[in-house]
Amino acid sequence: MVITSLRAKQPPTPGSPADWRTQLGQIVVEIRTSTGLCGYGVGGGGAAGVHVIETVLRDRLLGCDAEDVESLHRAMCQETVFYGRTGLVVMAISGVDLALWDLRGKARQQSVAELLSDEFDVHRPLPTYMTVFDDEAAQAAMDAGHRAIKLHVERFGDRPDPADIGALVAETRRRLGDDAEIMLDAFARWDLETTLRVADRIAPYQITWLEEPLPPDDLAGYARLVKESPVPIAGGEHEYLAAGFQRLIDARLHAVLQPDVSWCGGLTTLIEIYNLAREAGVRVCPHRGCEPYALPAIAALDPQPLAESPRRWFTCLTGAPAIRNGVIQASCEAGFGVSVAPDLFCTPT
Ligand SMILES: [Mg+2]
């Protein structure tokens, strides 16, 4: 199965936030092969990611056997190591890697979840959680069947008054009852002192995790936080490749790791992260896990599955599994079981 064509495009994302998630947003990667099969993946990096694919990765992969997914992943990382060990380049590699996994599944007539299947029933219903921006939306999510929600608290600013966050969490707990899981996402802009004060304030409300309170590179801050916070700390949404996650695991900086399969290096990297985390006894809970590229790994590899709601503005895929009554199941279709809009590569960006 020789790779004969490789291209990428940033699809329109109506309603996406007016920030890097639009300017450098998701890209769709298409790989065609000599057998007539076509694989699709979603990476990141916007036009810059497309440039990396069309100037570097395409030259490296054309003519290669698409079945050699792991060796092609290594080759892409080697080719870009001097300028791309983190960030945009790895986001672009992620999209290519996912398109290769899609092809592997299609070539073997198996879903990606089935390819990864070992210990768990990959068709099991997976619990989900909804990321929300206020406590009324939290109630709506619970009414829709979710048993877990995550409060995004960016609106309280970079140095929030812990009393304000505490009041929000108290009200959310009162509305949802004792059985619901509640998490907080602090968007990586607090400092250590603020985080510890907030953590003390929310600790009585049985918070499952406090996510990304500090900037990703404040490793010393996370080292203190993990020792002193009464609430478990989650992170890794903006970490890259197995080496990056190995550092987080070795230093025990997070109770929960949250790799994003379309940014961290693709499914090849996500599998490595699951293996590293399992050996270390650390939980993995992938970012936006309900989207079709993370879901197979959660179904097949995760001993404590909890899939995050998808982003509402990413609409260029068809065939993605949907959340029903608070649970979701991985696709049974070959590959990732998704297609892109037929005119995606024909229309100007
Ligand atoms: Mg987050």
pLDDT digits (tens, 9 = 90+) for 62-97: 999 999 999 999 999 999 999 999 999 999 999 999
Q: What is the mean pLDDT of residues 198-226?
A: 97
Write down the pLDDT at residue 89: 98
Domains of the chain in sequence order? 3-109 (3.30.390.10), 115-333 (3.20.20.120)
The rounded Å distance from CA 110 to ligand 1 centre is 31
The rounded Å distance from CA 66 to ligand 1 centre is 33
The rounded Å distance from CA 257 to ligand 1 centre is 11
SS3 152: strand
Q: Is the pLDDT of residue 348 over 80?
A: no
- The pTM (predicted TM-score) of the whole model is 0.96
SS3 270: helix
Residue 79 and residue 53: Cα distance in Å, rounded?
12
Write down the pLDDT at residue 297: 98
4: confidence class by pLDDT, cuts 50, 70, 90: very high
Q: What is the mean pLDDT of residues 321-348?
A: 90
| Buried b / exposed e along 216-237 (16+ C-beta atoms within 10 A) | bebeebbeebbeebebbbbbbb
In the chain, % helix, strand, coil (3-state, to 5) comes to: 40, 20, 40
Q: Are 39 and 30 in contact (CB under 8 A)?
A: yes
β-pair partners for 184 = 151, 210
How far is CA 14 from its chain centroid? 20
Residue 198 and residue 184: Cα distance in Å, rounded?
11
> Catalytic residue at 287?
yes
The rounded Å distance from CA 9 to ligand 1 centre is 25
- Determine the Cα angle at 318 with ends 315 and 335, to 5°: 125
Q: What is the DSSP letter of 324?
A: B
The rounded Å distance from CA 259 to ligand 1 centre is 10
- Determine the Cα angle at 132 with ends 130 and 134, to 5°: 145
* Per-chain mean pLDDT for the chain: 95
How far is CA 243 from its chain centroid? 17
Q: What is the mean pLDDT of residues 16-37?
A: 94
Catalytic residue among 73, 238, 254, 287: 287
Q: What is the mean pLDDT of residues 35-48?
A: 97
Q: What percent of the chain has pLDDT over 90?
A: 85
Residue 336 and residue 321: Cα distance in Å, rounded?
10
pLDDT in tens, 187-199: 999 999 999 999 9
The rounded Å distance from CA 39 to ligand 1 centre is 28
pLDDT in tens, 102-151: 999 999 999 999 999 888 999 999 999 999 987 778 888 888 888 899 99
Write down the pLDDT at residue 178: 94
Write down the pLDDT at residue 349: 57
Q: Is the pLDDT of residue 256 over 80?
A: yes
Residue 169 and residue 32: Cα distance in Å, rounded?
49
The rounded Å distance from CA 185 to ligand 1 centre is 5
